Structure 1
Amino acid sequence: MNQNATLTTFSHPALASQSWFIDSDTAGVQLYLRNRRRTHIEAFGSERTVMLMHAATYAGDSLFDVAHGETGSFMDFLAMRGYDVYSVDVRGYGGSTRPPEMMAPSDASPPTVSTEIAISDLSRAISHVIERNGLSQLNLIGMSWGGTVAGAYAARVPEHVHKLGLIAPQWIDSRSVSIDTGGELGAYRTVSREAARERWLGAVPDEQREALVPRELVEKWEQITFGADDANPYHVPNGVVQDRRDYWAAGRAYYDPGEITAPTLLIHGEWDRDVPLDTNQAYFRRLTGAAYKRWIEIGQTTHMLILERQRHQAFDGIAAFLDEVLTEN
């Protein structure tokens, strides 16, 4: 069980919350899966089942399950709308098994947990949910690097993806990014509270930071992400950084978005400096095979828009997209 689960749980009598581990394709490596659903619904079906894929630095609880206000977390919101919601942590993140390279000094090994490994872990989680519930497909939502993982999976295994939601997905961009500070990469990188806060709010005018995200929510997010103190450093696999150098920063696409056939929603925030606007515009134009595609641009939000004041615009946009009934032309 994730040690921070009690911090992220939204207490509501209509919702059931559970978590468990599933086997990966590597002996001894288990993946942490959490679930949120309405208690009175016995069967949901493919159209009402959602898998969430986290980003390059923060695990599923830090992004999708930080309860705040009457709506709760993103997982709570979708569950209250009648969806069976799952979130998986790739190995090396959150509650999942840490690779042995992350238990030794970082410079003792090359970058660990590549995008390809993350796709494999996501695939195992999706197969588990599909088989467990007797489904043929499910909806898939990925954020940032999670959008790369989800997008690549949707391109490779289109028969398992009913609809695809992407929140600021990676795309080709040679500009520097905060997760890559240069130099030779070790197995993992260490992220401090200060660096995390600056990355999140650095692009926001000082006078608007408190309005964007209340201080108590930032503090709650930090406690969920980093724990009660800094005694245990927050380590993150460096595989994603190596992949960015080898692909996105080098002008090479990791996969072809044109191979995605599912209806696709892309959401982007105005103040996102991790994935700039023109990057996602270029990505959106490459979605040539999607049954249909949609763009939502949300003003005065950052890369972490699903935790901010305007998060309801993202929540409502995603829910409306998922609620739509697909019809034949």
Structure 2
Amino acid sequence: MPLDAATVHDLRTDHGPVRYYRAGESGPAVVLLHGAMLDTAPLTWGRTVAALADSHRVFAPDLPRHGGSRPWHGPTDQEGLEAVLAELLDHWELSRASLVGLSLGGGIAAGFAARRPERVDRLVLVAPGGMEGRRIAQGTTYLLLHTPFLLRLATVLLARGPRLLRATLAAALVEGERNPDFAEIAALAEEEARAKHEAGELALDDWQIRSYGWRRMRTDLRPLLPRITAPTLVVRGDADTAVPLSAVEEAARLIPGAELLRIPRAGHLLPRDRPEEFHAALRAFL
């Protein structure tokens, strides 16, 4: 079962509930922020929480409109999600914490660290989102993202088509269905797909939709990166097809003193593709 080392908690906020997982009784605080679409804290961090719990106090929230953090009636753009993170830190009575973010979570962590440097001890960005000015097929993607019918159709297809969902997940993992965690990952993604459909949500996050402009990305965090003061590790799997290597390299260059780590034979879901290598690097840095 995922997150066996953690306890489950629900925080009631003005905008809706936020579910989070806690583990570890002592040590520095670290917050794990997952990615977009069908991701949840158990899906990305199912192994990571236990890997850190012996030396850290670990907090892993389901972001709004993911997992147990629904229904949600507040903003879920970059600024809105940074505000949720600040509220969580206050609730946990943490003046400072280390942040580890994957994809969407990496974008939230980077923006938060730039705008609230006094609250971040150390920063780990795993294939972070929001680091590009323009993406391939920018205009076409913009049109697709602003066609609600297609997004709702995608929600239905993912919720009612487990074969399609499993094939998509297999393609995202380097070892595909041979990944030892594949059954667990697929079950969690299928559960999330059904929850999105039942809640009437779109397949993609508001953060993803609002990040795209017609000609350029509206969420481009690069101008903020030089303001980050926390020691930073930027990580990318060499088989990642979601975030270009050039974007990750530029992010590492713009953050003062940042280290760049490339992990072979790992895709976008790096903590599940290569958990041993990832966790070794994470423990050494934190």
State the TM-score, normalizing by the size of structure 2: 0.82
- Percent identity of paired positions between Structure 1 and Structure 2: 21
Gaps of 5+ in 2: none
What does residue 148 of structure 1 align with? 107
More helix by percentage: 2
What does residue 52 of structure 1 align with? 32
Superposed displacement of residue 233, structure 1: 3.7
2:126 matches 1:167: yes
**How far does the alpha carbon of each residue in 1:136-182 deviate from its partner, in whole angstroms, 9 at most, with x for none?**
311111100110101101111111100001100021041159x9782
In structure 2, do the counterparts of structure 1 residues 64 and 275 end up closer, same or farther at CA, with 3 Å as the change threshold? same
Superposed displacement of residue 9, structure 1: 3.5
Superposed displacement of residue 237, structure 1: 4.9
Out of 268, 278, 281, the position equivalent to 1:314 is 278
What does residue 96 of structure 2 align with? 137
Superposed displacement of residue 243, structure 1: 2.6
Superposed displacement of residue 116, structure 1: 2.0
SS in 2 for 1:268: strand
2:211 matches 1:238: no
In structure 2, do the counterparts of structure 1 residues 181 and 98 end up closer, same or farther at CA, with 3 Å as the change threshold? farther
Q: Tell me, yes or no, if the aligned pair for 2:66 and 2:192 is still in contact at 8 Å.
A: no
Q: Using the alignment, how far apart are the partners of 1:247 and 1:293 within structure 2?
A: 31
State the structure with more CA Rg.
1
2:60 matches 1:87: yes
Q: Using the alignment, how far apart are the partners of 2:197 and 2:260 within structure 1?
A: 37
2:49 matches 1:75: yes
Superposed displacement of residue 54, structure 1: 1.2
Q: Tell me, yes or no, if the aligned pair for 2:169 and 2:186 is still in contact at 8 Å.
A: no
What does residue 69 of structure 1 align with? none
RMSD, matched Cα: 3.0
2:23 matches 1:36: yes
In structure 2, do the counterparts of structure 1 residues 153 and 194 end up closer, same or farther at CA, with 3 Å as the change threshold? farther
In structure 2, do the counterparts of structure 1 residues 263 and 227 end up closer, same or farther at CA, with 3 Å as the change threshold? same
What does residue 2 of structure 2 align with? 8
SS in 1 for 2:212: helix
Q: Using the alignment, how far apart are the partners of 2:123 and 2:251 within structure 1?
A: 14
Letter in 2 for 1:33: Y
In structure 2, do the counterparts of structure 1 residues 252 and 79 end up closer, same or farther at CA, with 3 Å as the change threshold? closer
Q: Using the alignment, how far apart are the partners of 2:248 and 2:215 within structure 1?
A: 13
State the TM-score, normalizing by the size of structure 1: 0.72
Gaps of 5+ in 1: 1-6, 66-72, 102-111, 323-329
Q: Using the alignment, how far apart are the partners of 2:83 and 2:213 within structure 1?
A: 19
In structure 2, do the counterparts of structure 1 residues 304 and 176 end up closer, same or farther at CA, with 3 Å as the change threshold? farther
What does residue 146 of structure 2 align with? 184
Superposed displacement of residue 183, structure 1: 5.0
What does residue 22 of structure 1 align with? 11
What does residue 227 of structure 1 align with? 191
In structure 2, do the counterparts of structure 1 residues 317 and 232 end up closer, same or farther at CA, with 3 Å as the change threshold? closer
In structure 2, do the counterparts of structure 1 residues 231 and 77 end up closer, same or farther at CA, with 3 Å as the change threshold? closer
What does residue 265 of structure 2 align with? 300
Superposed displacement of residue 35, structure 1: 0.4
In structure 2, do the counterparts of structure 1 residues 294 and 31 end up closer, same or farther at CA, with 3 Å as the change threshold? same
Letter in 2 for 1:117: G
Superposed displacement of residue 241, structure 1: 2.2
In structure 2, do the counterparts of structure 1 residues 298 and 125 end up closer, same or farther at CA, with 3 Å as the change threshold? same
SS in 1 for 2:144: coil
